Amino acid sequence: MIREKITDAIKRASGLEKVNLECPENEAFGDYSSNVALQGKNPKKDAERIIEKLKKDGKLSGIIERVEIAGSGFINFWLKKDVLIDGLKQIDMAKSDFGKSDEGKGKTVIIDYSSPNIAKPFGIGHLRSTIIGQALYNLYKSLGYEVVGDNHLGDWGTQFGKLICMIETEKPEELSIENLEKLYVEFHKKAEDNPELEEKARECFKKLEAGDPETKAIWQKCVDISLKEFAKVYDLLGVKTDFAFGESYYESEMRSMVGDSGIRRHLITGEEGAMVIDLSQYGIKTPLMFLKKDGATTYATRDLATIKFRTRKWDPDIIIYEVGVEQNLHFRQVFAAARLLKLVKPEVLLVHTAHGLYLAPEGQKFSTRKGNTVKLEDVLNEAEARAEKLALKSGEAKNKDEIDKLRKSVGIGAVKYFDLMHATGSNVVFDWDKMMNLEGNSGPYLQYTAARANSVIAKAKGKDQKFEAINNPNEEELSILRSLIKFPEIIKDSADRYAPNLLCNYLYSLAQKFNGFYGKHKIIDSENEEFRLALAFGVMQVLKNGLKILGIETPERM
């Protein structure tokens, strides 16, 4: 990559180990800009000295047109026109592979995502995890990593004791996901007046953990009903995880951990006789609850067992947990305990993305009354209905079949993009108008831009696309080229920073550039027709590749 080449040259010229090279948003500051010289006492002099050495070194002479010192000592670099045009050739050669690299070759990353809970509807809360998790999955795949996607289903734990206890006493005629949720809510209502119910539920879960066949059969029924519901959502979203082991899978792993003397020596007796792990040496005040007072395992125990299992099975370099910010303490505890118990090699990265919440338009939490979460399926269906209106409004006439397809790709695309364009850590205020806006930063806008570029190319059918500028490219054309060539670097940054929103920003800015250009200049029958067709092709291809990583389809026309 070009950026690495420049970074390496600056390292040699400055003698520094760590060199920062940015891609400035404002093109007036060049294609790349470095602040290396700002570290010393005399930045301007240092910058001059570094530039002098870069010239002598000569390694950049083939790609850099000019280098300038700006402001208090920034060094700005401009790429040669040939290099920019060459980017277009690379896109043409690689097509759907443009942007991919083998950066991550030989490395494995596990992505723990989606992870809804059995016996509860798939709420909007798990939407972010599913969408961001899938985008991270695709980003790392593009970089050549071995990627494992695991859906850590919530299918174990004391809540099942409560549920089973209710099913046993109420004997409902039919078990549906709505029924299960109702029973769970009812349990809590009843337990307020009859605290002994909690004890009963605990016993039920113990029976489940002990493998009692009747209890297990009820549990299995709950799992089956839920998985069927989830499958509908995954189908709508077009998402598929490689594995869905679920928490229950780690029963035997946990048993062996409980008996392991290496682990036992870290357990201390906590409140009411629970077994806990003290994490104060990691700056965490709350100890991790390893076994409850009745010996039952916890969510944290299962996560530790999962780490052990994943290490053995895949020997990962990175494990990414795409889970909401509300589980911050849980993951700090689990990561620290995993280090303490040596369940992972020290160099393994454990990452909690800590995504923000969905908020209702009024800024409230996006779940209504107790136990009644907004159903994701309803949201997705509404998105499709709105997309249909949009598809009917925009562009050319379409037949029923085409509209049906657009309904899905634009509707689901809009929901996904709206989620991904927000920085992972920030909250998302649900806003249909922004999500479906054909003129602003939205999925439909990007799809529409790609379709526009596509239709120009289709109209010019048979005409040549030439990658050499016959006439000199103008400033707007150069600006588009400058964006296109940076696509592979954006993929890397988005993955490295677990931030699909960087890719969204990039695609949006590229689309704006292209639309601006196309609004002002002819492509077909222009003096620079062949080059401009090649440019339109490049834009279309990069939008398509980028959207694909985000899990969004690109319709041919809209």
Task: Pick the stretch among 43-51, 110-118, 515-523, 532-540 that binds ligand ARG (CB under 6 A).
Answer: 110-118
Task: Pick the stretch among 112-120, 168-176, 179-187, 401-409 that binds ligand ARG (CB under 6 A).
Answer: 112-120
The answer to whether residue 321 forms part of the interface with ligand ARG (CB under 6 A) is: yes
Nearest alpha-carbon partner for 430 in 502, 344, 362, 520 = 362
CA angle 114, 117, 120 (to 5 degrees): 125
Minimal distance, residue 120 CB to ligand ARG, in Å: 8
Could you tell me where the beta strands, DSSP code E, fall in 218-274? 267-269
Q: Closer CB to ligand ARG, residue 300 or residue 428?
A: 300
The answer to whether residue 367 forms part of the interface with ligand ARG (CB under 6 A) is: no
The answer to whether residue 112 forms part of the interface with ligand ARG (CB under 6 A) is: yes
The answer to whether residue 103 forms part of the interface with ligand ARG (CB under 6 A) is: no
Pairing of strands 146-150, 108-112: parallel
CB under 8 Å to 401, separation ≥6 — which residues? Answer: none
The answer to whether residue 154 forms part of the interface with ligand ARG (CB under 6 A) is: yes
Nearest alpha-carbon partner for 531 in 474, 461, 452 = 474
The answer to whether residue 155 forms part of the interface with ligand ARG (CB under 6 A) is: no
Q: Closer CB to ligand ARG, residue 321 or residue 487?
A: 321
Burial 410-435 (b: 16+ CB within 10 A, else e): bbbbbbbbbbbbbbbeebbbbeeeeb
Q: Closer CB to ligand ARG, residue 23 or residue 185?
A: 185
Task: Pick the stretch among 20-28, 78-86, 109-117, 392-400 that binds ligand ARG (CB under 6 A).
Answer: 109-117
The residue with tokens 């009745």 is: 294
Task: Pick the stretch among 100-108, 111-119, 360-368, 549-557 that binds ligand ARG (CB under 6 A).
Answer: 111-119
Minimal distance, residue 366 CB to ligand ARG, in Å: 15
Nearest alpha-carbon partner for 121 in 220, 244, 228 = 228
CB under 8 Å to 205, separation ≥6 — which residues? Answer: 157, 158, 160, 161, 164, 296
Count of residues in contact with ligand ARG, rule CB under 6 A: 8
Q: Is the dihedral of CA 503, 505, 511, 516 positive or negative?
A: negative
The answer to whether residue 117 forms part of the interface with ligand ARG (CB under 6 A) is: yes
Q: Which residue from 323, 414, 460, 499 is in contact with ligand ARG, where contact means CB under 6 A?
A: 323
The answer to whether residue 152 forms part of the interface with ligand ARG (CB under 6 A) is: yes
Minimal distance, residue 360 CB to ligand ARG, in Å: 20
429 touches 534 (CB < 8 A): no
Minimal distance, residue 461 CB to ligand ARG, in Å: 50
The answer to whether residue 509 forms part of the interface with ligand ARG (CB under 6 A) is: no
The answer to whether residue 115 forms part of the interface with ligand ARG (CB under 6 A) is: yes
Which value, in Å, is the radius of gyration of the alpha carbons in the chain?
27
Which amino acid, one-letter code, is at 11? K
Q: End-to-end CA distance of the chain, in Å?
A: 34
Q: Closer CB to ligand ARG, residue 253 or residue 303?
A: 303
Minimal distance, residue 39 CB to ligand ARG, in Å: 41
Q: What phi and psi values does residue 187 have, to the nearest 5 degrees?
A: -55, -50
The answer to whether residue 482 forms part of the interface with ligand ARG (CB under 6 A) is: no
How long is the chain? 558
Minimal distance, residue 152 CB to ligand ARG, in Å: 4
Burial class (CB in 10 A: 0-12, 13-18, 19+), 293: middle
Q: Dump the DSSP string for 463-475.
A: S---SS-SSPP-H
The answer to whether residue 230 forms part of the interface with ligand ARG (CB under 6 A) is: no
Coil/strand/helix, residue 336: helix
Minimal distance, residue 112 CB to ligand ARG, in Å: 5
Q: What phi and psi values does residue 69 have, to the nearest 5 degrees?
A: -90, 135
Minimal distance, residue 376 CB to ligand ARG, in Å: 13
Interacting residues with ligand ARG between 293 and 312 (CB under 6 A): 303
Q: Closer CB to ligand ARG, residue 150 or residue 384?
A: 150
Q: Which two tokens stand for residue 490?
A: 């954006």
Give me the residue whose beta carbon is nearest to ligand ARG: 154
The answer to whether residue 529 forms part of the interface with ligand ARG (CB under 6 A) is: no
Which residues of the chain form contacts with ligand ARG (CB under 6 A)? 112, 115, 117, 152, 154, 303, 321, 323
